[in-house]
């Protein structure tokens, strides 16, 4: 399954008047980062950055003056997200802004069934909270010490780690467990039996190209020494 963990920064809180000024996204394939990312700053036209928003993300009007408008980046955005689930923390906020931008260009909105809200997921998993991104990083031992300001790409990278941990980490993909049977003691679960039957004596060769492996390695390095991806090593390119 392909997912894009993403974040936006905006000029303010009202999606009817305020505009998106930054979008960052990280591609996951079967809950593993591919090394592909999307990042762009966007000129909001005549809408100025509200002082409260500036205090959060530090993106100034002057910085945005020479950046492309949303209409100029929309095709690249849609191409990157094409066919993937949109994963965001407090997705109602981000999708409200994204769909408002699409509406201004007479584009159809993103269907709700293509959106995953990690805040809602966190509230179900940790009902006592807190469930902000910073709080979840602390809960899962993810290093966010370099997050002095909000930034769409950095927050997407942190959220990708949080999201995987909330789903059970890489352990969730293994499907191996033992269950107790009152009649015959310990036995393998159906999941582990199925995996044992289908296991390969030799792993299939990687499909990664050299460029993809390098991008993946660069992403892991950027996430810091405590990033969970270090547990699994850096994939090698196909020979």
Helix axes 152-166, 210-223, angle to 10 degrees: 90
What is the phi/psi pair of residue 235, to 5°? -65, 145
Residue 211, preceding peptide bond in cis (omega within 30° of 0): no
Please answer whether residues 8 and 22 qualify as being in contact, where contact means their C-beta atoms are separated by less than 8 angstroms. yes
Helix 152-166 × helix 118-125 angle, to 10°: 40
Distance CA 156, CA 89 (A): 9
150 is catalytic: yes
Tokens describing residue 168: 């059970």
Residue 138 and residue 162 in contact, taking contact as beta carbons nearer than 8 Å: no
Q: Are 134 and 145 in contact (CB under 8 A)?
A: no
Pairing state of beta strands 115-117 and 178-181?
unpaired
Instruction: Identify whether the C-beta of residue 161 lies closer than 8 Å to the C-beta of residue 140.
Output: yes
Name the catalytic one among 39, 50, 126, 150. Answer: 150
- The set of catalytic residues is 150
């Amino acid at each position: 399954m392909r997912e894009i963990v993403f974040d936006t920064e905006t000029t303010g809180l009202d999606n009817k008047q305020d505009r998106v000024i930054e979008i960052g996204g990280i591609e996951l394939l079967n809950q593993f980062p591919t090394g592909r990312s999307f990042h762009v700053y966007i000129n909001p036209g005549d809408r100025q950055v509200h002082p409260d928003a500036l205090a959060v993300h530090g993106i100034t009007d002057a910085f945005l003056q020479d950046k492309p408008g949303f209409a100029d980046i929309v095709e690249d955005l849609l191409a990157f997200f094409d066919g993937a689930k949109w994963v965001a923390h407090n997705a109602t906020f981000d999708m409200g802004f994204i769909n408002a931008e699409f509406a201004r260009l007479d584009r159809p909105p993103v269907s709700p069934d293509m959106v995953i809200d990690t805040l809602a997921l966190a509230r179900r998993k940790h009902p006592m909270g807190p469930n902000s991104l910073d709080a979840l990083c602390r809960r899962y031992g993810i290093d966010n010490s370099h997050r002095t300001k909000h930034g769409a790409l950095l927050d997407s990278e942190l959220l990708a780690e949080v999201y995987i941990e909330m789903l059970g980490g890489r352990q969730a993909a293994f499907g191996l467990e033992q269950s107790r049977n009152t009649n015959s003691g310990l036995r393998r679960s159906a999941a582990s039996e199925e995996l044992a039957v289908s296991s390969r004596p030799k792993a299939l060769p990687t499909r990664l190209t050299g460029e993809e492996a390098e991008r993946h390695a660069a992403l892991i390095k950027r996430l810091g020494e405590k990033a969970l991806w270090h547990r699994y090593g850096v994939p090698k390119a196909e020979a």
